Structure 1
Amino acid sequence: MGIEDFGGGTDPHSDVLVVTTNDVPGYRVQQVIGEVFGLTVRSRHLGSQIGAGLKSMIGGELKGLTKTLVETRNQAMERLIEQARARGGNAVLMMRFDVTEAADVGTEVCAYGTAVVIAQEQ
């Protein structure tokens, strides 16, 4: 597995900019739309569960579970962007992730932030 299997984030050519900061240098906020989020819950694959159990005995990274978490975070981001776009936003400020166990059957990942309309400063 290469480094690209463990990355994430938005498409650099997306029409919705997502940042973890309170503002975007060179842009001003024209309108605050409000909180948006993308949520997904994923169960663990049986094969990765067995592999994780064996790997935990000898130590090391659980690559199958890592890849599943990356895919889950990316899906939550896609849903966040879809919601911001649907509400008329072109950016999400202060984006964060929240990750929790979902009733011992999977992992819940929520990407959330503030949808806004930004414009480049003149």
Structure 2
Amino acid sequence: MAKMLVTTTENIPGHPYTVIGEVFGLTTQSKNLMRNIGAGLKGIVGGEIKDYTKMLDESRNVAVDRLRENAAELGADAVVMMRFDSSSISQDMQSVAAYGTAVKFTTSD
């Protein structure tokens, strides 16, 4: 099965659709000891904390994959108006949510 189309736009050119409903994907990641040590050192000297950036990128990918799974369970062909939300649960945990609207393509006669 090809990956389900997920877009931040409301319309998909050439693909009329009906709305199925809202879908989401969620993940929560914690920082490991090595990332915390590296972040502490970067906090002193400044600069990008690449391990945290990598963790957030991985979290976004997991959230979108789960969004696709949620949409597929509803029989969707695509997800439109996808957005991300993230927040810190504690000093060492980050939550990322991907959410959007599941749609089913319709044929125009």
Distance 1:16 1:120, change over 3 A: farther
Partner amino acid, structure 1, of 2:5: L
- SS of equivalent to 1:113: strand
CA deviation vs aligned residue, 1:28-79 (integer Å, no higher than 9, x gap): 11x2110000001111111011101101211111001100111111000000
Report the residue type matching 2:73 in the other structure.
A
C-alpha distance in 1 between matches for 2:64 and 2:107: 24
State the AA in 2 paired with 1:85.
Answer: A
Q: What letter matches 2:80 in structure 1? A: L
CA distance in structure 2 between the partners assigned to 1:16 and 1:61 by the alignment: 33
Equivalent runs, 1:1-122 vs 2, <5 Å = 14-29=2-17, 31-119=18-106
Q: TM-score, normalised by structure 1?
A: 0.83
List structure 1 runs of 4+ shifted beyond 3 angstroms: 119-122
Where 1:27 maps in the other structure, the secondary structure is coil
TM-score after normalising by structure 2: 0.92
CA RMSD, 1 decimal? 1.6
Measured at CA, do residues 120 and 69 of structure 1 come closer, stay the same or move farther in structure 2, by a change above 3 Å?
farther
The structural deviation recorded for 1:121 is 6.1
Cα pair 1:28 1:118 within 8 Å, conserved? yes
Which blocks of at least 5 consecutive residues in structure 2 are unaligned?
none
Once the two structures are TM-superposed, the CA of residue 98 in structure 1 deviates from its matched residue by: 0.2
